[in-house]
Structure 1
């Protein structure tokens, strides 16, 4: 007799792994358990960036994502998916049984150790739908695993998920509950905390003011503020855009020293 899962609509699955053989194995395993858990593989991708391209075209129920991939790894992919209005469930696959895997052993996500086993895959899929990944937790774990911050930030605009390459951001400016990220081309409104961005990208950005972080390589120079200027002790000049950023008295000396020594 078919199981209740077999009578339900197939789960739409996206397989994300940079190794073709690993993707083929997951397809074969999904076929093996079709009688107990019907699934439909709607696409494959070799990294997180390509996976997001697929997801812009079609919704899925489950993403089977490798952890270590070039371009954008599985942890960062999951952090972006967690910001979607209806995020898919994420099941990590990995060959590394280390502290990161232990951290994923939460109700938020599941993980499969490679080589993936049939019954373990079935057990993971039976948890869908379940709790979604904790975005803040993933950001912290991802930083430890890859030895640095995310490659992209994400924001919603007119119902779409937009990616902002961190290497293109000139500065972050906090305003009430949101943070604006400025690139040469435009501004993006992020649902991020400035303190978290400062911690995650300490190697790239410098705090100029309680509300401003600037990319170190975007600084072009400084000018002293007028004596009656209550907004700033001085102003930072940027490469590529005409805006000036306020610099506090406390940050004036370290910011100038950075430009002098670069």
Structure 2
């Protein structure tokens, strides 16, 4: 039975070449009812984002467990695009099934993927929006390896390990690396909750990377000349103030 559906452009993401080839073949098998066009194939989330810089797609079929960047983190980054593609997870592990099926916007295919089930998922993807970032965060098998920033319609990846501090400024969070600043459309509270081992709160508007701390000192600023504690980080010239409220916790965490 043929259909008048326009072909969806599809990116296949899986770290195993046979799995990528099988999905490609299955898409060919169901082309009469669910026409698609293969825009590319990638072995990780990082590779997938590089493909998407060259060509936007309508649908991403992605494995969950992959090196470099897993499928759930990939889906979170995709959600920041101005026109984010639909996402269908494919995996050999069923531990994510319940959470995935709770999403009205994404489907979940257990390997080995069957043609009829794939066709059903693609039909669903045609009419539904991508999953919410909060639900993806709860599904994530591990914390993110990268932050994503949408600049000029493309996703810029920033390794979390390179971020020295996170500072809330108006509607955004500034992520500072040794090279430059980036604007994250996320909340400081959420970032603190997601990365408790990596970042330490020193002020209501600032988190610092624990590994980057090179020392603390007393400083005097303001008209009243009141002394307060500041943190010094490797790689940036700023001295970041520690609030009175946070100082006991900072002192304990840094062992000073």
TM (norm. structure 2) is 0.94
Q: Tell me how far 1:156 sits from its aligned partner.
A: 1.8
Asked if residue 233 in structure 1 is aligned to residue 231 in structure 2, the reply is no
> Structure 1's 252 and 28: CA in aligned 2 closer, same or farther, altered over 3 A?
same
* Offset from partner CA, 1:52-111 (integer Å, 9 cap, x none): 00000001111000011010000000000011100010000011112x221111212111
Q: Which residue of 2 aligns with 1:2?
A: 2
Q: Which moved more, 1:43-52 or 1:125-134?
A: 125-134
Secondary structure of 1:156 counterpart: strand
**Following superposition of structure 1 onto structure 2, how do residues 149-164 of structure 1 map, counting pairs within 5 Å?**
149-164=143-158
Q: Tell me how far 1:229 sits from its aligned partner.
A: 5.1
> Structure 1's 2 and 159: CA in aligned 2 closer, same or farther, altered over 3 A?
closer
**Following superposition of structure 1 onto structure 2, how do residues 94-109 of structure 1 map, counting pairs within 5 Å?**
94-98=91-95, 100-105=96-101, 106-109=103-106
Query: Which blocks of at least 5 consecutive residues in structure 2 are unaligned?
Result: none
Contact 1:180 1:188 in 2 (8 A): yes
Q: Which residue of 2 aligns with 1:134?
A: 132
Secondary structure of 1:107 counterpart: coil
For residue 206 of structure 2, the aligned residue among 212, 221, 229 is: 212
For residue 80 of structure 1, the aligned residue among 69, 77, 80 is: 77
For residue 91 of structure 1, the aligned residue among 88, 92, 106 is: 88
Q: Which residue of 1 aligns with 2:109?
A: 112
Query: Which blocks of at least 5 consecutive residues in structure 1 are unaligned?
Result: none
Contact 2:91 2:109 in 1 (8 A): yes
Contact 1:91 1:124 in 2 (8 A): yes
- Distance in 2 of aligned mates of 1:157 and 1:33: 36
4+ long deviations beyond 6 Å: none
* Offset from partner CA, 1:198-242 (integer Å, 9 cap, x none): 000001010000000000011111111327357x83111111111
- Matched length: 252
Q: Which moved more, 1:83-92 or 1:101-110?
A: 101-110
Q: Which residue of 2 aligns with 1:18?
A: 15
Secondary structure of 2:246 counterpart: helix
For residue 120 of structure 2, the aligned residue among 97, 118, 123 is: 123
Q: Which residue of 2 aligns with 1:249?
A: 244
Q: Which moved more, 1:183-192 or 1:241-250?
A: 241-250
Give the aligned CA root-mean-square deviation in angstroms: 1.5
Secondary structure of 1:79 counterpart: helix
- Distance in 2 of aligned mates of 1:140 and 1:169: 23
For residue 160 of structure 2, the aligned residue among 149, 161, 166 is: 166
Contact 2:11 2:41 in 1 (8 A): yes
TM (norm. structure 1) is 0.92
